[in-house]
Amino acid sequence: MTDDELPTLEEFQAHVARGETIVGGSPMHRFMHGASQEALQVTARINSGYVPPEELRALLSELTGREVPESVAVFPPIYSEFGKGFVLGEDVFINIGCRFQDTGGITIGAGSLIGHGSTITTLNHGEQPSRRADMTPAAVTIGEKVWLGASVTVTPGVSIGDGAIVAAGAVVTKDVPPRAVVAGVPARVLRYLDED
């Protein structure tokens, strides 16, 4: 690929899946910004007024590039800066005002609940000021039947195990074990849920 050629979506996603840096100003970076414009157009349509559930699912499918299950429920507004890195399982519920920086990949497992105002991020910028425009992707995986309370922040590369609860306002910077209840900044395990 030359400096003038942009990658395909598949090439970009393979680059991201390998955790390779998206160098500021590079073809990968320019591709990401172009894809972001498409995502912003779709989210603007989602957030512009009342959208019936069937139409909303169709718009979410357009945003993500994959069929969104009929059992998914989203209360707009919802924000996504890439869209094609976003995977939603059956019976996922996303409450009002959530933000998804999904370039690095976000998977939300079946039956999970995402509280209003939550933010999930998948990119870190370069630490050195001269490399600040560079971004390193790291996917976030949310297991099945996870409950994120209101205004939770999940940072790049984190996995949250099945059945876990993340208390409102928590900032999740490390993996959360299955059935753990975590809270705080940074989030820490408070206890584990008993078996059903």
Q: Which residues are catalytic?
A: 125
E strand segments, 78-156: 78-80, 86-88, 93-94, 98-100, 106-108, 113-114, 119-120, 123-125, 135-137, 140-142, 147-148, 153-154
Distance CA 49, CA 152 (A): 25
Buried b (16+ CB within 10 A) or exposed e, 101-121: bbbbbbbbbbbbbbbbbbbbb
How far does the chain reach from its first CA to its final CA, in angstroms? 53
78: left (phi over 0), alpha (psi -120 to 50) or beta: beta
Token pair for 21: 């840096």
Find the radius of gyration of the CA atoms of the chain: 17
